[in-house]
Amino acid sequence: MNSSFSLLLIEPTLTAAAMVAESVGLHLDDCRLNIVSHLEDALSEVEAADIILLNARQAVANNLDGLTALKHLHPAAKIILLQPASDPVPDDALAAALSLADDYVAVSPVGMLALGRRLAEYRAIAGEIPPPETTAPVLSYLLSADSSPLGVQIVGSENRILAWNRVLENKTGLHRADVLGRRLDDLPLAPATRSALQNALRKARRQETPFVVSSLPLVDPQGYTRREKLFVYPVPTANQTEPAVVYMVYVDVTDLADENENLQQWYRQTRVLLEISQTIAENLDLNTALTSVAEQIKFLLNADNCHIYIQEVDATSLQPALSLGPHALNVARMPLAVGKAILSAAAENRVVMLNHTEADLHILCTPLKTPKGNLGLAVVTRAGHHAPFAPREAELLETLSRLTAAAISNATLFAETQRTLKELSIFYEASAAIASSQHPRQMLTTLIRQMSRGLEVQQGFIAGWNQSDQLGHVEVLLLDDDASPDIYQGLENRI
């Protein structure tokens, strides 16, 4: 083996070094490749090198001192900088380094193809072997052998299809015999797909660097729209006046996209449930808590209306406690009788889902259940031209209804506790005042005031009864600021 052609690779990253070594092996049969991790190690090399492949980050370090020393040590060598794809060197720093180096390539599949071609050209200049005819031997081999598990196409001048492999035939239902030589603009593709591919081709030829289209819609032969990740690799042609040949590789990510959408939906629902729980914990006011819950129910279920009903003590009717949406005003005026229509089923501890497209209304309702029984009913509606409610949405509403029932229970318990504390306070103050009073009228005045406070009224009186005269008379009188004592004139004659 003739080993006179020598390469020196200076690359600290194992992955990048492997990519370079693979490219060298594909394009050069008889060469010697020395690999070191750091520029300092390369400066100690005494053996001459024809080509030096240098990590661009190391080249621009320390104001180009290391690169200058390397150039002085190997004056006849061609120096090619390896631009990292994940953390590229800024353009200004790269331009400064290129004042000492001869060229640069990106550490990417397309960059490695370009590197292999250049190495072969340098080798050919030395008069050893002719350069390869193809600029992309690996992809070309995969296409000719039709062995790639991925969809691959090549687009040339005028956006004409140069290659279309078997996998892409299965993805699109378009046979290669029907597409080869035709312009991509004329293929029977969905408008969204054609537009995305045209944009990708324009971008590839404008920036001449590889990129990825994260989500490309592609309609399969069954009419189902799948999601593809598109890897775009522009490869410059030998004739610089012609546009780059563009390789496009398709990877089906439909399942990943669906899973990601489900994950996002789960995250959104979890976040809303957390917000509702926090609202219920922080707000003991019934209207505030119900408003927050109803708004989130509308948001999660994409509903037009949300109505919350609370069951009366006698369990014969449901009174509207809160209503949001276009029908809110009408619902607020209309109590519901338990046992009628769909409400009977919901009152029996089961979710009811009715989708009536012809009636222009979809209805979903569920009872507000607690361990002690039902507190009421949650009803959401959606206009008929929207999608019907799905079973998973019924399950979600049932979960939300339990939070709604908890909000009602908490608010009711808090109100009852406040009322009990108020009554105890009134009893205590009245007892203390009566115990300390020496005059009967003073005790009666204290008593009527505390009674009015407990009953939340503004006026009242205490009347006495004379058994012998068979007459009643007002002992004490409590009036608000705007009332006149005249309203009680003649009252004694009526007692």
Beta-ladder partners of 451: none
What is the phi/psi pair of residue 307, to 5°?
Answer: -125, 135
Answer yes or no: are the C-beta atoms of 39 and 151 closer than 8 Å.
Answer: no
- Note whether 126 and 144 are same-domain residues: no
Task: State how far the Cα of 110 lies from the Cα of 232, in Å rounded to an integer.
Answer: 9
H or E, element range at 252: strand 245-252
User: Does a structural domain hold residue 330?
Assistant: yes
215 pLDDT above the threshold of 90: no
The reply to whether 425 falls in a domain is: no
User: Within this chain, do residues 279 and 384 fall inside the same structural domain, yes or no?
Assistant: yes
Same domain, 217 and 269: no
Residue 430 inside a domain? The answer is no
Residue 324 lies in a domain: yes
- Per-position b or e across 397-433, b if 16+ CB within 10 A of its CB: bbebbbbbbbbbbbbeeeeeeeeeeeeeebeeebeeb
* 3-class DSSP assignment, residue 419: helix
**Which three-class secondary structure state does DSSP give residue 408?**
helix
**What is the structure's pLDDT at 183?**
92
Flag whether 431 is in a domain: no
The residue from 132, 159, 191 where one domain ends is 132
Whether residues 361 and 345 fall in one domain: yes
Query: Average pLDDT in the 391-418 region?
Result: 80
The total number of structural domains that make up the chain: 4
Highest mean pLDDT among 152-161, 230-239, 338-347, 443-452: 152-161
Say which CATH number the domain at 193 has. Answer: 3.30.450.20
| Same-domain check for residues 148 and 235 | yes
Residue 201: per-residue pLDDT: 93
pLDDT at 80 over 90: yes
Same domain as 369, residue 316: yes
* 128 has a pLDDT exceeding 50: no
Could you please report the per-residue DSSP string of 334-368?
--EETTSTTHHHHHTT--EEEEETTTTEEEEEEEE
Instruction: Give 261 or 407, the one with higher predicted confidence.
Output: 407
478 three-state secondary structure: strand
pLDDT tens, 242-299? Answer: 788 888 888 887 765 555 565 666 666 667 666 766 666 666 777 887 888 888 888 8
The Cα–Cα gap between 309 and 289 comes to: 14
| pTM confidence score | 0.38
- Most confidently modeled range among 297-306, 439-448, 477-486: 297-306
| 203 & 271 share domain | no
Confidence of residue 177 (pLDDT cuts 50, 70, 90): confident
pLDDT at 224 over 50: yes
Last residue in a domain, options 196, 229, 252: 252
Domain CATH number, residue 128: 3.40.50.2300
Q: What is the DSSP letter of 477?
A: E
Phi, psi torsion values for 35, nearest 5 degrees: -125, 130
Looking at 437-483, list the stretches that DSSP marks H as alpha helix, in order from N- to C-terminal side.
440-455
pLDDT at 493: 46
In the predicted structure, residue 341 carries a pLDDT above the cut 50: no
Count of beta carbons in the 10 Å neighbourhood of residue 489: 9
Residues 273 and 240 in one domain: no
246 and 271 together in one domain: no
Within this chain, do residues 397 and 297 fall inside the same structural domain, yes or no? yes
* pLDDT at residue 385 is higher than 90: no
Q: What number is the average pLDDT over the span 106-129?
A: 79
Quick one: which of 305, 302, 301, 276 has its CA closest to 289?
276
The share of the chain scoring above pLDDT 90, in percent, equals 9
Q: pLDDT category, 144, cuts 50, 70, 90?
A: very low
Distance, CA of 339 to CA of 63 (rounded, Å): 85
Dihedral, CA of residue 188, residue 192, residue 194 and residue 197, to nearest 10: -150
Q: Is residue 421 part of a domain?
A: no
Domain boundary among 206, 226, 252: 252
Question: Nearest CA to 283 among 370, 403, 407, 368?
Answer: 407
In a domain, 286, yes or no: yes
270 shares a domain with 191: no
**Co-location of 263 and 399 in the same domain:** yes
- Domain residues for the domain of 34 are 6-132
Question: Does the pLDDT at position 127 exceed 60?
Answer: no
Helix count and strand count (H, E) for the chain: 17, 18
367 falls within a domain: yes
